[in-house]
Structure 1
Amino acid sequence: MKIDTHVHTHYSGYTGLAPLTRLMRESYNTPERVYALAKARGMDLVAITDHDTISGALTLAERPDVIVGCEVTAHFRDGVRVHLNVLDITEAQFAEIDRARLAIHELMPYLRAEGIFVSLNHVASRVNGHVTAAHLAWLLPWVDGMEVRNGSRLAVQNSAACALAAAAGSVPCGGSDAHTERGIGRTWVEAPAATCRASFMRELRAGRVQVGGQHGHYFTMASDILRFATNFYRERIGMLLRHPLAWRNHAVCGVAIAACPLVLVPLVLAHGHFRDEERFTESLLLDLVARPPVSGQAVPEAA
């Protein structure tokens, strides 16, 4: 059975990128559309892993081929944050996860006690903040798996994650990290012996899985940027048509239309972003060589 274990919907909220906060969403995907596309692209199971919420996943939770998941933003004491994928959780478990995620030293023991499968997403990316060997030394003994193929990250980043997972004995995981429809179901993890949701989770925990599908690239990011822009304009024009007397809708649409030529700017910046990602991957690998993870290391403190 195949599943894309890393997919976002509009329930992930608004982007944290200034100056688009409260204007542009993290994703414009709907849960129903994610489900339909994942199934059409060969996924036997469907997971929705929004940022710090399971509201989107719960809209589909009664279906036997849906796994309720979440991409949890967990905080170290020194301010570094990591993204953890948790799968097959209940509403009660999520409530406790959401409470504890601001203190990772409380969160990880809770996940272990509950037997919740947890994996580390895009470890070799700056999205996680300035993760160092010290952070990984503390965290790796607590995670079950590691995302070794992320459909939105460079192949070199995924290769670094794969090498780290092999060294740590982590279960290999894969997912598209789709924030638009383009990537849904294009990257996955497969459990050949699984026949249902429950047996898939057993196979995943046992490590009897393999990853497959696409890596990310500059052109996939460029495509996503254009899709985000299209969805943003569609949503804002729709809001204006539904509420023509709301001055704020007129103001936002006016500014958005005037800014249309600036859509090309992110396409240029995407190249710089991936160059930064490559440099961060190299820096993390050098740090790991200089300070290899040692089990039992203390939680990194603020400087």
Structure 2
Amino acid sequence: MTVLARAIEATRRYGDVLALDRVSLDIRAGELVGLLGPNGAGKSTLINLLVGLRRPTSGTVELFGGSPSDPAVRRGIGVTPQESGLPESLRVGEIVDFVSAHFPERYGAAELLARFGLADLVRRQVGGLSGGQRRRLAVALAFAGRPRLVFLDEPTTGLDVEARRTLWEGIRSFHADGGTVVLTSHYLEEIEALAQRVVVIGRGRVLADDTVRAVRDVVGVRRVSFAAPVVPELPGILRSSVEAGRVHLLTADSDRLVTELVRAGTAFADLEVRPTSLEEAFITITSKEETRV
């Protein structure tokens, strides 16, 4: 598939702080890529390099085969940063028209706002919008110029569940029409719901890059759950928790753990063994990196 954006051994320093450490990554046409990582991992820095807001200290970054610093090249992208400000005196429809006018191809205000559940706000002044409505508008504006590639940095921060799912549908619709999306999120269920490919970043490095299922499986961990009053002391438990009377254990060898559970004579019921969630895989991957460094 065509590579739309690329980082090759990209490193970025801010003084003595190493934000990205020789990151290599391709974003291909038609992908929906989720970037995961804790605060300070380098996710936003990577996006800033790819969209031309920052330049790498060393290495190479390309956008549509050219330089991200070229305004003509950047016309093919849409971006929603973590924080955005909009003129409070303008109406929602006016802002959409103003932003769209910068692009040779564009969505009409009505079509764009309907896609993101904002159709009834077209005549509302931005100053009268709630924080969640402003965030949805900021995300919608990233799609105003019919971009080939959209970067969304924490797009659903501050949204309630219903607004978040409306936004998901807008993103899915764009992707279904052939668009390419790169998004970061602290909501791991959001990445599971949207992304086809997951890139885990920690300490400025790529720790994993694969499908959601493969990222869960790469750590070789399974979740063993059962109803029991206490957490049993058994070998091979990587992490444990108790919620609502159920014990949850993470292990690299679920067969052995269940065998040891029976041998120990532990009273339990309703046994369940399943692959890890993306959240559990993410914690395990980043914990391994913290231990290794």
TM-score by length of 1: 0.28
Higher strand share: 2
Higher helix share: 1
Higher alpha-carbon Rg: 2
